């Protein structure tokens, strides 16, 4: 027997997700829809339950038929069990310290009233979104395509905060840590860092509002870091500490976790693991088919709209092509108007299937600097999935 995983969900006889030839690293076929377990967390709507403690909640695909992902449906992912469940805004402070001449302790009210607010519409995607599609299978959050969302983030650029704190010369990195606490002293507290130039590029920001409302607690209330165009691991939730450092930041979550092969699209093979790795960083190009959903049934002779989203790290999606015949022929989809450089771009393609049968729909996107999607992909952590998507639809 070769290395194939069987997806088995709670309380169900699992729907086996068998892919094609065992010689190929993966086929990119979405797993057939299996019974999902939905759960409603506080301030959230019903979401797909991956784990409850610490929570990993996936967004049902139909929410991506909107420009902005509602707060109550936005995906949730924490690493450490001690997630904040109560915040007192009277005593909460964002601490800014380290290589600064003017250390700060700012309340949320200070941030709202003392700094010029900015808003940015930006996609947040988990590094491991779509991990369940990799073959051979990889341990970790077994997401389908729902660990992603597009929201309007409002708050203060980190640059403004650092300017007020007066960064000393010799600053190299800026680390960001939140209120969440590890379950054991041996588990590293979650913190990530950006280079000083990246942190103060004017786009990296601290959000106190999401889609014009306070963040849900499980999405990082009262503040989270927003790093447009970079994977979600950097978007530290319940942000409470900013530290300017005179050297490159070092911790478990940077040195051991969240690393990718230093190779095109972070790719390696299971038998030849890369020895040179770097921290995960900016998004690759992706498109996700939102409609039809896996195993949906459509009717012959009726016009339908294939729908989806596409995004990259901020250069701009320029093209999405759709196939309804398993990749034999391709047609350009219509792109919605651009909302912003870090927002996703919705796309649509009309299709009237003539005959009954099973059809394999595919979608592939390209961006302004010529980046496209992969046909084959693997890395040991299950990160950065961007294989050309396939969804099978029955027409009857």
Partner 1 sequence: MGLAAFIGGCGQRSRTSGEATHDIALVDSAPIRSPEPRIPVHTIALPHDEPLLPPGPGREEFVAACVVCHSPRYITMQPRFTRSAWLGEVNKMKDVYGAHISDQQVPQIVDYLMSIHGMPDPAGTSTAASYGE
59-88 residues in contact with partner 1 (CB under 8 A) are 60-63, 65-66, 70-72, 79, 81, 83, 85-88
Which C-beta is closer to partner 1: that of 119 or that of 295? 295
Least distance between partner 1 and beta carbon 49 (Å): 6
Which C-beta is closer to partner 1: that of 12 or that of 368? 12
Q: Is 185 in the site for partner 1 (CB under 8 A)?
A: yes
Q: Is 45 in the site for partner 1 (CB under 8 A)?
A: yes
Least distance between partner 1 and beta carbon 182 (Å): 8
Residue from 200, 259, 341, 364 touching partner 1 (CB under 8 A): that is: 259
Q: Which among 29, 89, 341, 116 has a CA at the least distance from the CA of 221?
A: 89
Residue 252, sorted as left (phi over 0), alpha (psi -120 to 50) or beta, turns out to be: alpha
Least distance between partner 1 and beta carbon 396 (Å): 15
Residue from 24, 38, 248, 250 touching partner 1 (CB under 8 A): that is: 38
| 199-218 footprint of partner 1 as x/- string (CB under 8 A) | --------------xx-xxx
Least distance between partner 1 and beta carbon 46 (Å): 8
Rg (alpha carbons) of the chain, rounded to whole number: 21
Residue from 20, 24, 89, 262 touching partner 1 (CB under 8 A): that is: 89
Coil vs helix vs strand at 367:
strand
Residues 6+ apart with CB under 8 A from 31: 7, 15, 17, 132, 133, 144, 294
Q: How far is CA 53 from CA 56, 57, 83, 215, 335, in A?
A: 8, 10, 9, 20, 39
Which C-beta is closer to partner 1: that of 79 or that of 198? 79
Only one residue has tokens 């003539």, namely: 354
Q: How far is CA 93 from CA 104, 154, 184, 196, 238, in A?
A: 9, 18, 25, 22, 11
Least distance between partner 1 and beta carbon 180 (Å): 12
Q: Is 128 in the site for partner 1 (CB under 8 A)?
A: yes
Q: Which of residues 267-306 bind partner 1 (CB under 8 A)?
A: 270, 273, 291-296
Residue from 33, 247, 350, 375 touching partner 1 (CB under 8 A): that is: 33
| The token pair that represents 105 in the structure block | 């302790």
Q: Is 49 in the site for partner 1 (CB under 8 A)?
A: yes
Q: Which among 219, 276, 265, 271 has a CA at the least distance from the CA of 383?
A: 265
Least distance between partner 1 and beta carbon 22 (Å): 10
Least distance between partner 1 and beta carbon 200 (Å): 28
DSSP label of 68:
S
Q: What are the two backbone dihedrals, phi and then psi, of residue 347, each rounded to the nearest 5 degrees?
A: -140, 160
Q: Is 365 in the site for partner 1 (CB under 8 A)?
A: no
**Residue 230 β-bridge partners:** 282
Q: Is 11 in the site for partner 1 (CB under 8 A)?
A: yes
Only one residue has tokens 């054991």, namely: 184
Residue from 313, 374, 377, 381 touching partner 1 (CB under 8 A): that is: 381
Beta pairing, strands 389-395 & 297-298? parallel
DSSP label of 266:
G
Which C-beta is closer to partner 1: that of 33 or that of 250? 33
Residue from 19, 106, 123, 141 touching partner 1 (CB under 8 A): that is: 141
d(CA 268, CA 77): 26
Cα angle 284, 15, 377; round to 5: 25
* Number of residues this chain uses to bind partner 1 (CB under 8 A): 88
């Amino acid at each position: 027997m070769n290395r194939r995983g069987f997806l088995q969900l709670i309380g169900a006889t699992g729907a086996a997700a068998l892919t094609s030839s065992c010689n190929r690293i993966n086929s990119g076929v979405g797993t057939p829809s299996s019974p999902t377990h939905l759960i409603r967390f506080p301030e959230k709507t019903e979401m797909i339950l991956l784990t409850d403690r610490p929570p990993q909640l996936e967004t049902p695909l139909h929410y991506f038929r909107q420009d902005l992902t509602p707060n109550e449906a936005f995906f949730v992912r924490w690493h450490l069990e001690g997630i904040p469940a109560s915040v007192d805004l009277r005593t909460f402070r964002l601490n800014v310290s380290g290589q600064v001449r003017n250390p700060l302790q700012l309340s949320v009210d200070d941030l709202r009233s003392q700094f010029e607010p900015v808003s940015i519409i930006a996609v947040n995607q988990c590094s491991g979104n779509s991990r369940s599609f990799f073959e051979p299978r990889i341990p970790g959050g077994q997401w389908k395509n729902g660990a992603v969302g597009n929201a309007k983030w409002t708050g203060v650029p980190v640059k403004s905060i650092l300017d007020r704190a007066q960064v000393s010369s010799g600053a190299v990195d800026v680390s960001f840590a939140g209120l969440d606490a590890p379950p054991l002293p041996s588990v590293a507290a979650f913190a990530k860092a950006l280079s000083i130039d990246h942190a103060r590029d004017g786009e990296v920001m601290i959000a106190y509002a999401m889609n014009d409302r306070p963040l849900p607690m499980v999405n990082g209330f009262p503040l989270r870091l927003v790093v447009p165009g970079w994977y979600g691991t950097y978007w530290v939730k319940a942000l409470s500490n900013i530290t300017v450092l005179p050297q490159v930041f070092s911790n478990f979550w940077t040195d051991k976790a969240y690393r990718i092969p230093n190779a095109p699209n972070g790719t390696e093979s299971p038998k030849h693991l890369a020895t040179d790795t770097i921290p995960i960083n900016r998004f690759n190009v992706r498109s996700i088919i939102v409609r039809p959903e896996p195993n949906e049934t459509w009717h012959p002779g009726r016009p339908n709209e294939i729908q989806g989203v596409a995004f990259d790290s901020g250069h701009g999606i320029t093209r999405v092509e759709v196939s309804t015949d398993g990749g034999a022929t391709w047609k350009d989809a219509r792109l919605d108007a651009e909302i912003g450089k870090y927002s996703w771009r919705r796309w649509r393609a009309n299709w009237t299937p003539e005959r009954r049968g099973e059809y394999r729909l595919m979608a592939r996107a390209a961006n302004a600097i010529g980046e496209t999607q992969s046909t084959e992909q693997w890395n040991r952590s299950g990160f950065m999935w961007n294989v050309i998507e396939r969804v099978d639809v029955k027409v009857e």
